[in-house]
Amino acid sequence: MQETDPKTFSVEEIELTPNPSSVKFILDRKVIDSGSKTIDGYLESDTFAINLFALDIVDRVYLRENFVSVTLNSADLWVVFKDKIKNIIEADLKKYEDGDDEVSSSILDDFDTEKYPDLADDEKVIIVEAILDSSIRPALANDGGGLEVIEVEGHIVRIRYQGACGGCPSSTGGTLRVIENHLRSQLDPEIKVHTYT
């Protein structure tokens, strides 16, 4: 019986996402311990990224927990390249230490939400991140995506979608309204959420 290399990943399931250009590859274990990671080009020392982007059809890659979400330039290309991309994941993907910083939702335990409008913009970012971590990001991850808070300026929260959410038609409409309504109900009824590309 051949032993598998403990450093390689196996794709356990392949799921379609609401974005027809993105497919979610669910792995046999965590690819990243905390946070998320977006790759939108070659990384010199990363064989996985080099081989994936060498196909010249990959727009971006999003990693979180135990999945990799790959977005291609065109949804039609999945028919030809799904198995090839799966093979690259299983052959070349290595575990990433930590992803982009995400804030622990425990910061909300002692926070008085009525004070939110009076905070400095950089303090508002921390609170918004914590709210998104506790409720919105897990839902987006189910569909192979995520979001990044770019900045908070007064009542305006600017976000950028990641993974399958980037370029998905529902992210600019329904999903954006859900995020905005959630932040309004949790923090400040004046909040407006805008996407940043």
- What distance in Å separates the CA atoms of residue 133 and residue 102, rounded to the nearest whole number? 7
The CATH number linked to 76 is 3.30.1370.70
One domain, residues 117 and 189: yes
- What distance in Å separates the CA atoms of residue 108 and residue 139, rounded to the nearest whole number? 19
One domain, residues 116 and 181: yes
| pLDDT (tens digit per residue) in 154-190 | 999 999 888 877 777 666 677 888 899 989 999 999 9
| pLDDT (tens digit per residue) in 93-134 | 999 876 665 555 567 777 888 899 999 999 999 899 888 887
One domain, residues 113 and 37: no
One domain, residues 85 and 112: no
Q: Which domain holds residue 156?
A: 105-195
Please, which residues have CB within 8 angstroms of residue 71's CB and are 6 or more apart in sequence? 19, 21, 22, 58, 59, 60, 61, 62, 163, 164, 166, 167
CA separation, residue 63 to residues 35, 70, 108, 155, 182 (Å): 9, 9, 26, 30, 25
Q: Which of 50, 70, 92 is the last residue of a domain?
A: 92
